[in-house]
Amino acid sequence: MKSLSFQNGDQIPIIGLGTWKSKPGEVYQAVLSALKAGYRHIDCAAIYDNEIEVGKALKDALAGGIVSRKDLFVTSKLWNDSHRKEDVKIGIQKTLKDLQLDYLDLYLIHWPVSFKKGVGFAESREQFYTYADVPLAQTWQGMQQMQQEGLTRHIGVSNFNTEKLKELFAIGGQGPELNQVEMHPYLRQEKLVNFCKDKGMLMTAYSPLGSGDRSISSKKSDEPKLFEDHLVLSLADKYKVSPAQILIAFSVHRDIAVIPKSVNEERIKQNLEAGSIEFEVEDFKALNAITTQYRFIDGTFFTGSKSPYNLSDLWEEF
């Protein structure tokens, strides 16, 4: 499988298994099936509330000789309630215990939004910290310390725009090595991609299939459907693959890691096989020229009248 290289030469497999929305009772088998199918990149997060079960799958796969630790790449993320410097270590230690690992390959700040300790999802102004309360610099210094202590080999961020990334690079020391954001043909994020590449950062695309399985309450009635896009369907027919495979291959061809989620064994295999699709130049150009622009994970759950944060704290403009 194709991999991307960090600046020190370490490799991250370009296709990984996403575990967001994978339910307890399903995620164990999904991770095990993925590792048996050849995946070596598993993407996790504390807030997904399934890392204990993911950890059981990793332990069994390692004990059973399905994969060795040195060939496994595991990512997790620091939740919003652990942004104070003294809380960063608590966050990563809980994740390592749940995943039954001695170290992570990559640890990310999940969002540039801070909650008070113990808050899952802030619902009132009193449950948030502001940037004045907990500057991003403080959180990043905690991340740098985790890397220095060997608890994670690489550090990065998720859902950070160029302005927030500039803040972190200005701190000095190890800068962010990867930025994980929503990306697909309807949200190509060219400005952000170019900035990250100029900084020597890698990128990972989440929700590459449009996150159609997220809760009804977070969807808009008129949102577009990537699986029904005419070009995506025509290319799936041309290359004799599924629309999902076309969407995954789109990120692969951009040299962007991609983490489609599935708990279906056959789809898990198909998603990995998407890495072998070779687009003709004109087809790839056509995907890059789609005019529809849409963000499925819009971040409004962190903004509004009860929050000190705005959407401009999260996203680039289209």
pLDDT tens for the 318 residues of the chain, in order: 899 999 999 999 999 999 998 888 899 999 999 999 999 999 999 999 999 999 999 999 999 999 999 999 999 999 999 999 999 999 999 999 999 999 999 999 999 999 999 999 999 999 999 999 999 999 999 999 999 999 999 999 999 999 999 999 999 999 999 999 999 999 999 999 999 999 999 999 999 999 766 556 566 778 999 999 999 999 999 999 999 999 999 999 999 999 999 999 999 999 999 999 999 999 999 999 999 999 999 999 999 999 999 999 999 876
User: Could you tell me if 104 and 152 are in contact, meaning their C-beta atoms sit under 8 angstroms apart?
Assistant: yes
CA separation, residue 125 to residues 10, 280, 283 (Å)? 41, 51, 48
For residue 302, what are its two tokens? 């962190």
Q: Where in the sequence numbering do the catalytic residues fall?
A: 48
> In this predicted structure, what is the pLDDT of residue 213?
67
Distance of alpha carbon 240 from alpha carbon 236, whole angstroms = 6
- Using left for φ > 0, alpha for ψ between -120 and 50, and beta otherwise, residue 161 falls in beta
> In this predicted structure, what is the pLDDT of residue 251?
98
User: Rounded to an integer, what is the distance from CA 76 to the centroid of its chain?
Assistant: 9
User: Could you tell me if 133 and 99 are in contact, meaning their C-beta atoms sit under 8 angstroms apart?
Assistant: no
Q: Report DSSP state, residue 21.
A: T
114: which strand partners? 129
> In this predicted structure, what is the pLDDT of residue 221?
75
| List of domains in the chain | 11-313 (3.20.20.100)
> In this predicted structure, what is the pLDDT of residue 21?
84
> In this predicted structure, what is the pLDDT of residue 217?
59
Angle value at C-alpha 273, between 267 and 277, nearest 5 degrees = 130
Distance of alpha carbon 17 from alpha carbon 132, whole angstroms = 36
User: Could you tell me if 180 and 108 are in contact, meaning their C-beta atoms sit under 8 angstroms apart?
Assistant: yes
> In this predicted structure, what is the pLDDT of residue 23?
84
Task: Decide: helix, strand or coil at residue 67.
Answer: coil
Predicted TM-score of the model (pTM): 0.96
> In this predicted structure, what is the pLDDT of residue 243?
97
> In this predicted structure, what is the pLDDT of residue 214?
56
> In this predicted structure, what is the pLDDT of residue 212?
66
- Between helix 27-37 and helix 265-273 the angle, nearest 10°, is 40
> Torsions phi, psi of 212, nearest 5?
-70, -15
